[in-house]
Chains A and B, each alone.
Chain A
């Protein structure tokens, strides 16, 4: 990729040839305001907010559409540019409703942010604002407010170019234009909420999130989605140990900048039907009693214990399960169970929903442990350690006649029927790593406190007889000392894993 030398606001910089001025300015930490431009979408250049002055050009040029040329001199802060920015804002505000107090976008709204930075003037408009359809349920998960819409067409281009289902468009023109589907059909695309993400104003908003919380009250933590084995990078948005939403996180290696609606809304599972403390056949018991019960069996009759894994666990947990199998229980094979699959959709969704199935495969192979799907109970020993219980009914019948000792995050009828069930933290209440269907290893961070301990804590307990058990103290130690060499990642430490993950 060849480079060109350009000047922005008097500062020289070498940039790749052919990038647009907005991206070039970003490399110098210069912000050029824009609405319709989006790095991953086609250029529309309809908002005109990014107009900049370029030497030898008589007119201001849109920075999103203008590619840099060698020797180009660009000015983003002259009087002409400032007047243009204030003028664009004045036009955009003319018909914009006075909605800030009731608009969900407040605090992450381009109009608000740009007014304070690039406008600061009052309007000369004295007439009545145009009235359009408001708080319109354009789809089951998205609400559209035509009065707030600035017709930037980001949503239109997203559906057409990224999802390849061009269901949105502008109807009418000029003052009367608004976004809609053909014939007002429901906008129920499985990726619909992404249009609310990329909408720079409060025109498209998420129905699920409506009026729940103000965004500046939320803390954002880097994590991954537990919906399927694509492991889309997300931000967990939380306050006071409650998660309010998932947002997509930019990751060129995995999901670029968006996520599917179902994965996005799966945050609700963090706070529903959670298993707390421990159960013995559905009755609440204290955890210490439950763990001693399990430890007695493991220590007393290790040869009579089988392991069944539901691969929605972290790499670190899976590694320790492998050590448990080999070094304590003398097993050279484990079983796995899976949740209901869904269809590969060619966009993000991967048919295997157990989010760390691929990590499970890789680690079992590297540890030389055979793994097979649980099909019959012929080889199953009397006692079964079941890690994760989110699985299809057919497995439950196979396990019916065994003594079940399970660790899981959620509670249902099957968990209630187990001999012992101990609660563990979900991936949003701990830190660890996972590997996705494309072989990308990602680290997820702890977002909230859940009350339950991570599975690795209980596994370490069961491995207390081993010499190197002191290295099982944390996910970081397990990764640095065991997983990293096992997966051939010798240079990479737990804390050093980049935000876009690493290929294994």
Chain B
């Protein structure tokens, strides 16, 4: 038997960047004393694809496909965040219907993101059934998105000043019809996990972050709210039509993995609540602004008039001309505050397009959350942060 007074050697193990239990390309250099974590050196950047530099080489409207690939689990939210920042810089007021549709898509994406997070985190703990149930829920959402945008995960559906196209006939009904099934999925996951002793044993009290630490490190989103701070941009600085909708912000109290799970579960229920209101209140009307200096003119005009063809031509070749200036605008994405800081020199390409990534801030807190815990706790902790490589590394 080992003598507990014997000096136990520290050992550093490498986890990642490619690892079956890690979601995304992350490298952790974990220093262990026995099973206890004494240091966790977090190394990110393996998915850095120079989004900000690429933005400088592309026209304003051509950046949307790149935003799809930031948080690739809820891409429409990235589209919306970027479009909103550009619209703020130009000074565009988007039509009412556009606002409602954007909210609808953001909340659907939020549900998809949270389902993915819970699914992956639970699977790591051995709850494989939960993973499959959540995948079914997520797929129902992706079917709606595919119907609307043509793709499940690369929609590029939002435009500066509007949307790519209007909702198809019957889309809202079909969206409503998947909600009961998603509620059932959430209910089943709830029944399988929330009072499951194994789940509670693994998630209660693990991956704890204090309120003070969370604020200092820059946590936002479900991870911040799990510590008890009721901060959500949809309520704090409402955008789109969130100020007209009724919904609650779930808040935890312990800042542990279990609270993050509970916050996400409840957020999904609130998102469903929001979606039902949006469908009920959806106005008619146009989905893009009229000003063809920012929006492509309609196809009949482009094909048949010289003015239309000139307009379309110059927008594609020169890019929309965004007035010189700078702006920062942020939305409440699935992981927290997703901000875009844009600088324009008046031309067709951004001078700077900086992304304030929510999971980048969260990753800074990982070491604090795992040090003092055991090696096995790193898995659910990292899973509950929901770091998305595309968004963290850009």
Contact = CB atoms under 8 A, between A and B. Distances in A.
Contacts of B303: 98
Interface size grouping (class) on chain A: 20 to 34
Contacts of A101: 309, 313
Contacts of A343: none
Contacts of B318: 116
Contacts of B175: none
8 contacts: A93-B305, A98-B306, A112-B310, A112-B314, A116-B293, A116-B310, A116-B311, A123-B307
Given A93-B305, A116-B310, A121-B307, 14 more contacts: A96-B306, A98-B303, A98-B304, A98-B309, A99-B306, A101-B309, A111-B310, A112-B310, A112-B314, A116-B293, A120-B293, A122-B301, A122-B308, A216-B317
A115 B307 contact: yes
Contacts of B307: 93, 115, 119, 121-123
By CB atoms of chain A within 10 A, which of B305, B307, B317, B318 has the most? B307
B277 interface: no
Contacts of A106: 313, 317
Contacts of A216: 317
A187 to B, nearest CB: 27
B309 A120 contact: no
Interface string A104-146: 0011000111011001111100000000000000000000000
Contacts, number: 47
Interface residues of B, number: 16
A93 B306 contact: yes
By CB atoms of chain B within 10 A, which of A93, A100, A122, A216 has the most? A100
Contact of A107 (B304, B309, B317): B317
7 nearest A-B residue pairs (beta carbon): A100-B309, A115-B310, A116-B314, A96-B306, A100-B313, A112-B310, A98-B306
Interface in B259-306: 292-293, 301, 303-306
Nearest to B301: A122
A97 interface: yes
A335 to B, nearest CB: 53
Given A120-B292, A122-B301, A97 B311 contact: no
Contacts of A107: 317
Contacts of B310: 100, 111-112, 115-116
Contact of A123 (B292, B293, B305, B313): B305
Given A120-B292, A120-B293, A115 B314 contact: yes
Contacts of A119: 307
Contacts of A122: 301, 305, 307-308
Contacts of B313: 100-101, 106, 112
B309 A115 contact: no
A122 B310 CA distance: 11
Contacts of B305: 93, 98, 122-123
Nearest to B312: A100
Nearest to A109: B310
A357 to B, nearest CB: 43
